[in-house]
Amino acid sequence: MRRLGIGFYLLLCPFALWLLLLIILPHLNMLEVSLNLRSYTTPKSYTFQNYLNFFEQPLYWNTFVRTAWMSILATLLTLLIAFPMAYYIAKLAKGRSKTLLLMACILPFWLSELVRTYGWMIILRESGLLSGLLRYFGIIENNIEFLYNDASIMLGLVYTAMLFMIVPLVSALESLDDSHIEAGYDLGGSHWNVLREIVIPHAMPGIVSGCIIVFMLSLGNYLTPNLIGGKDSLWFTEQIFTQFITRFNWEQGSAFGILLLLLSSLIVYLGLLLSGQTLSKTMGK
């Protein structure tokens, strides 16, 4: 076997450092902190109490379940909205309009997420654009607060995640040969048949990788639920923030962080099993 030269190790170096210093070490450290018993009197000792708290306190557990469900719903909604858009961009739009449409999807992401979220707040707040417009057209009499509810959180999550669904879908659909779609029709298939038997199976790796990214982004999102949903939006990342910053309970916060990592990985794993895909198939292309 050929020995790997110094060039290989030099190229590997940034990646290995990044993985070790920014991913592995902090997580190991967090794992260690999460197993510490929080006490000011006894010397340092290890316990599972921080993890047990999660399962014993209904608030923590329910917040997590709510966050997971909302994220799954946001993922499905994003997929439903993004699929026709991606299909149009990949298959129907030609030349310049294709580039323009893709640009239009990417353009909002040139702004920071914070600015975009404040944009939505300007539209949705009680004295905001939407409320004002509805009043102007006489549809409502008094201003309505559109912020601080689950629907507005969902709106924010779907909006934030849209691009990360469209891009993998467009690239998956672009690789589908038009003649396969035509052959589907030629052999007597209806629109629905062709979509279900030919287009979706082909786009499946793109669908799954888009869903994984969107789900992870939603689950770990802090800004959108907090700003659009308000302080009582019960998002799991807020619980972690509260433990670390407000209550200064780093042990509990670390345990929540580790749990979020494990539980979200489990959900992604179940999703892959359900759709019959593998991680290497969806990410490896």
Residues that bind other proteins (CB under 8 A): 177, 179-180, 182-190, 193, 197-198, 201-202
**Rounded least distance, CB 276 to other proteins, Å:** 11
- Bridge partners of 36, per DSSP, are 46
Residue type, 93: A
Cα 73 to Cα 50: distance, rounded to the nearest angstrom: 29
Do 83 and 169 form a contact (C-beta atoms < 8 A)? Answer: yes
**Rounded least distance, CB 205 to other proteins, Å:** 11
User: Residue 180 or residue 231: which is nearer to other proteins going by CB?
Assistant: 180
For 146, residues 6+ apart whose C-beta sits below 8 A from its C-beta are 123, 124, 125, 126, 128, 130, 131, 152
**Rounded least distance, CB 177 to other proteins, Å:** 7
Do 254 and 31 form a contact (C-beta atoms < 8 A)? Answer: yes
Cα 152 to Cα 155: distance, rounded to the nearest angstrom: 5
User: Residue 56 or residue 182: which is nearer to other proteins going by CB?
Assistant: 182
Cα 130 to Cα 127: distance, rounded to the nearest angstrom: 8
Q: Which residue has the tokens 């035509």?
A: 182
**Rounded least distance, CB 61 to other proteins, Å:** 40
For 20, residues 6+ apart whose C-beta sits below 8 A from its C-beta are none
User: Residue 191 or residue 231: which is nearer to other proteins going by CB?
Assistant: 191
Do 87 and 258 form a contact (C-beta atoms < 8 A)? Answer: no
User: Residue 247 or residue 285: which is nearer to other proteins going by CB?
Assistant: 285
CB atoms within 10 A of CB 148: 17
User: Residue 57 or residue 278: which is nearer to other proteins going by CB?
Assistant: 278
**Rounded least distance, CB 88 to other proteins, Å:** 19
User: Residue 198 or residue 268: which is nearer to other proteins going by CB?
Assistant: 198
**Rounded least distance, CB 204 to other proteins, Å:** 8
